[in-house]
């Protein structure tokens, strides 16, 4: 990827870095998404090598000197990679003494920033399948997060990536706000800025439905907006009721927090988790039998027992009727 990024940079190098625009294939609001200013707010600009809060060697506007392909990229802009990384680091925020440590100039720093930015956009496109459909505020926040974390760390945020890809902006922002990224002093301000942009989210497209009371979208042709109580495990653990997309169209949403599940319209009575499968009963057979009994009972025979439904008097339902009361599978929060 790094070689491809450098080649891409070589094609645009004649342009001034400050004039570069990255145009996604699909543009909401008919504007260019340009994450540079957001990233510049969060990245120091030092002409000598410094160590970030994790001890990673960086230079310029956050260029990672220890990332894969960093030497090739650094040398491509005229830097002296080995001389730089073997030299003395400067404390973050201090003035560079270029008479005693290796330095680059501002033009080289700008060129490295462009290479890092293109790479971060490429990673974001790979991790988030809906990247080019995002509105600019969310797209810029995602690129800023990617720029800070890098590919390896970002890929560990599996749930966050799933929420973003699923246009569940509330869940994505809640997840990130409880993560180490927001609690680490060196990235806390950056995280809060990005979380704010994620929380606002993007408008739902024409095929999606907006989930009432939540900033989230579901496929209007194949899903229903429901709610689920999600347990977020970050630096802090917190249970939050979020929107989720039940994989059934025009479904009945089961109550929260007891059942993070939904049932089809024909079987609207939410039952229970039956061996990992959430089950549902119909209006004609509305009595949910306990776990292990894979059937429903009706109002005439409301007592569930192994082998069938019974009246309160103890009379067992005829076997030819019992087959009509089979439970149906619903859908559940993954």
pLDDT digits (tens, 9 = 90+) for 242-291: 999 999 999 999 987 767 889 998 999 998 776 667 889 999 999 998 88
pLDDT of residue 11: 40
Residues 20-41 have a mean pLDDT of 63
Global confidence as pTM: 0.83
Does residue 32 lie within any of the structural domains? Answer: yes
Q: Are residues 87 and 11 in the same domain?
A: yes
Pairing label, strands 261-263, 308-310: unpaired
Residues 30 and 111 in one domain: yes
The answer to whether residue 31 scores a pLDDT higher than 70 is no
Please name the residue that has the structure tokens 């009361």.
325
Task: For residues 183 and 273, give the distance between their C-alpha atoms in angstroms, rounded to a whole number.
Answer: 36
Q: How many CB atoms lie within 10 A of CB 257?
A: 12
111-144 per-residue burial string, b: 16 or more CB within 10 A, e: under 16: bbbbbbbbbbbbbbbebbebbebbbbbbbbbbbb
312 part of a folded domain: yes
What's the rounded mean pLDDT across residues 37-62?
96
| In-domain check, residue 9 | yes
**Poorest-confidence range of 80-84, 167-171, 286-290, 310-314?**
286-290
Distances (CA, A) of 252 to 167, 240, 244, 296: 21, 21, 13, 17
Within a domain: residue 151? no
The pLDDT tens digits for 171-220 are: 999 999 999 999 999 999 999 999 999 999 999 988 899 999 999 999 98
The region of weakest confidence among 7-16, 81-90, 227-236 is 7-16
292 and 198 part of one domain = no
Q: How many domains does the chain have?
A: 3
Quick one: 30 exposed, middle or buried, by C-beta within 10 A (0-12, 13-18, 19+)? exposed
Does residue 75 lie within any of the structural domains?
yes
Closest CA to 264 of 244, 274, 278: 278
Find out whether 196 and 182 touch, Cβ atoms under 8 Å: no
Residue 173 has φ and ψ, to the nearest 5°, of: -70, -35
User: Are 26 and 94 members of one domain?
Assistant: yes
Task: Answer yes or no: is 328 within a domain.
Answer: yes
Rounded CA separation 263/61 (Å): 51
Q: Tell me: do 106 and 168 sit in the same domain.
A: no
- Examine the fold and report which residue of 109, 129, 149 is the final residue of a domain before the chain moves on: 129
Residues 229 and 287 in one domain: no
Does residue 30 sit in the same domain as residue 68?
yes
DSSP 213: T
Task: Specify whether 85 is located in the same domain as 162.
Answer: no
Instruction: Report the 3 state secondary structure along 1-38.
Output: CHHHHHHHHHHHCCCCHHHCCECCCCCHHHCCECCHHH
Task: Report helix, strand or coil for 124.
Answer: helix
Q: Is residue 301 part of a domain?
A: yes
Q: What is the pLDDT of residue 274?
A: 67
Last residue of a domain, one of 219, 247, 275: 247
Confirm if 178 and 44 have CB atoms less than 8 A apart. Answer: no
**Whether 40 and 68 share a structural domain:** yes
Q: Is residue 141 part of a domain?
A: no
In degrees rounded to 5, what are phi and psi of residue 219? Answer: -65, 110
How many Cα atoms are found within 13 Å in the side-chain-facing hemisphere of 308?
Answer: 16
3-state secondary structure of 330: coil
* Owning domain of residue 212: 157-247
Q: Which residues contact 309 (CB under 8 A, 6 or more apart)?
A: 287, 289, 295, 297, 298, 301, 302, 303, 316, 317, 322, 325
Q: Note whether 112 and 179 are same-domain residues.
A: no
Distances (CA, A) of 145 to 18, 100, 193, 268: 21, 33, 10, 42
Residues 197 and 108 occupy one common structural domain? no
Within this chain, do residues 239 and 285 fall inside the same structural domain, yes or no?
Answer: no
**Final residue of a structural domain among 225, 247, 269:** 247
């Amino acid at each position: 990827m790094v070689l491809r990024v450098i080649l891409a940079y070589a094609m645009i190098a004649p342009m001034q870095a400050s004039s570069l625009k990255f145009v996604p294939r699909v543009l909401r609001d008919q504007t260019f998404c340009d994450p540079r200013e957001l990233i510049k707010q969060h990245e120091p600009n030092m002409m000598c090598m410094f160590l970030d809060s994790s001890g990673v060697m960086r230079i310029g506007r956050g260029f990672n000197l220890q990332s894969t392909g960093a030497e090739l990229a650094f040398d491509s802009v005229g830097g002296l990679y080995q001389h730089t990384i073997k030299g003395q680091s400067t404390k973050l925020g201090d003035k560079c003494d270029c008479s005693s440590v290796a330095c680059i100039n501002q033009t080289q720093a700008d060129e490295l920033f462009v290479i890092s930015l293109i790479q971060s956009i490429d990673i974001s496109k790979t991790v988030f399948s809906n990247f080019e459909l995002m509105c600019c505020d969310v797209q810029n926040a995602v690129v800023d997060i990617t720029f800070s974390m890098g590919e390896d760390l970002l890929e560990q945020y599996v749930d966050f990536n799933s929420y973003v890809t699923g246009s569940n902006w509330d869940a994505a922002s809640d997840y990130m706000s409880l993560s180490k990224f927001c609690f680490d002093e060196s990235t806390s301000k950056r995280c809060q800025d990005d979380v704010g942009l994620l929380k606002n989210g993007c408008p739902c497209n024409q095929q999606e439905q907006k989930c009432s009371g939540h900033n989230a979208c579901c496929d209007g042709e194949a899903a229903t907006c429901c709610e689920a109580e999600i347990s977020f495990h970050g630096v802090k653990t917190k249970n939050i009721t979020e929107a989720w997309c039940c994989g059934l169209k025009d479904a009945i949403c089961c109550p929260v927090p007891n059942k993070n599940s939904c049932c089809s319209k024909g079987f609207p009575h939410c039952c229970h988790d039956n061996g990992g499968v959430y089950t549902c009963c119909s209006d004609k057979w509305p009595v949910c039998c306990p776990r292990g009994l894979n059937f429903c009972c009706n109002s005439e025979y409301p007592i569930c027992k192994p082998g069938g439904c019974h009246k309160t008097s103890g009379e067992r339902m005829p076997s030819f009727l019992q087959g009509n009361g089979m439970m149906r599978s619903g859908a559940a929060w993954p």
